[in-house]
Amino acid sequence: MLRALLHFPAELSGGLRQYIDSRLARIKAEHRPNQLFEPLRCDGRSRRPSKQPEARNVCAQCHQEHAGECW
């Protein structure tokens, strides 16, 4: 989770970035000495495609959606 946040450096405040760096340093020291401080490698294939909104037939005269001619 911490490494995933590194994908958004512009949105991180100084305090949050410092917290993330200190937590990653602690994890590295205690558990994974070879761990890198870089964002996760995400290829984007896990994202679901966004749904396109359904096309609506809106009347040009009354700007309402209805079947047939405008009354």
Looking at residue 31, its pLDDT comes to: 86
Alpha carbon 53 to chain centroid distance?
20
Q: How far lies 35's CA from each of 6, 22, 27, 39, 55, in Å? A: 14, 14, 9, 11, 49
Looking at residue 69, its pLDDT comes to: 81
Residue 28 has pLDDT above 80, yes or no: yes
